[in-house]
Copies of this chain bind each other. A is one copy, B any other.
Amino acid sequence: MNRHPDDATPLATAAPGVQLQPAAYEKLLGALRDSIGRLAAEESFERLVVPPVISRATIERAGYAASFPNLLGTVHSYTGSAADWRRLSPLIAEDGPWHVQQEISDLVLLPAACYPVYATLAGRDLEQPVRFSVEAQCFRQEATAEAGRLRTFRMAELVTAGTAEHCQNWREHWLQRVADWMETLGLKPSIELADDPFFGGGRRIYQAAQRAQELKFELRVPVAEGLPQAIASANIHKDHFGEAFEFTAGGERGNTACTAFGLDRIALALLHTHGSRPVDWPEPVRTALNGA
């Protein structure tokens, strides 16, 4: 592979939406992680690094399986006998149905970095807001694979739980803060009211309600010519997770909010905007990124 060592462009694999990342890209992602860390230093976040799989029961309880069955990846494994496997195993070579005895496991692929946080709050009463900084490799079984539409991707999130008023104010603060941060990186995000594409027509009414409540704002930047993608979002969930995981704040059902950074999409937006070699990017961008 004759690549320039400073070239940060990810490498495609046989699977759509699954990329390998060279050294220069890894370095860029590390710089983004550190830059977000400096941005978050004014508040006291508890840091958690989250694995790419999570208890299926947690994701069912959170409501994700019901709303996004088309995006959810479930983990299955073979639980049959050795005798059965001697019969099934030869089917692999002929591209046959060797996997008919795969059974669903207790795990699913993590769809967003914040889910383990809500599970840790189950049953608690929060006297003060809590704050978490999480990062994980997430998965969504996307139906298309245009630029930036990865199935496996790295997400950083700042998450808070507390009262409704706290969460609303915190989200407003962070929406502006992330937009300003992107400007320092030479990106010009458009901020758009969004809704999640719930599966199935029966949820259109819910989607309209979601928009009316202004739950989700996305920051969109082109990751390829004429192709803007949401590279970050600032969200309130009202008491959705407080209800699902039974935690309270100030005696009321707990509210939550989060700011999500799509690290891979931010990296792709930067590469599209400034070129494939981060060492050659404009001085102000490198300074903002590296905190010099």
Contacts and interface: CB of A to CB of B under 8 A. Distances in A.
Interface of A: 1, 11, 13-15, 18-23, 25-26, 46-55, 57-58, 60, 65-66, 69-79, 82, 85-86, 88-89, 92, 98-99, 102, 104-107, 109, 116, 119-120, 137, 139, 141, 151-152, 199-202
Contacts of A82: 199-202
A25 B13 contact: no
Given A1-B120, A86-B202, A77 B66 contact: no
Nearest to A202: B86
B18 A54 contact: yes
A19 B55 CA distance: 11
Contact of A92 (B65, B73, B120): B65
B25 A49 contact: yes
B26 A47 contact: yes
Copies in the complex: 2
Given A18-B51, A85-B199, A104-B99, A76 B76 contact: yes
B85 A78 contact: no
Secondary structure class of chain A's binding surface, majority of residues: mixed
B66 A48 contact: no
Given A13-B119, A23-B46, 7 more contacts: A18-B54, A21-B48, A52-B139, A70-B78, A74-B76, A82-B200, A105-B141
B13 A55 contact: yes
A73 to B, nearest CB: 5
B76 A104 contact: yes
Contacts of A23: 46-47
A51 B120 contact: no
A52 B153 CA distance: 10
Given A98-B65, A199-B82, A49 B26 contact: yes
A74 B53 CA distance: 12
A69 B89 contact: yes
23 contacts: A1-B120, A14-B57, A18-B53, A19-B51, A22-B46, A22-B47, A23-B46, A26-B47, A26-B49, A51-B152, A52-B139, A53-B73, A53-B139, A60-B92, A69-B78, A69-B89, A70-B79, A73-B77, A74-B76, A75-B75, A75-B139, A82-B202, A85-B200
Nearest to A134: B20
| Chain B CB within 10 Å, residue with most, of A11, A66, A119 | A66
A201 B84 CA distance: 12
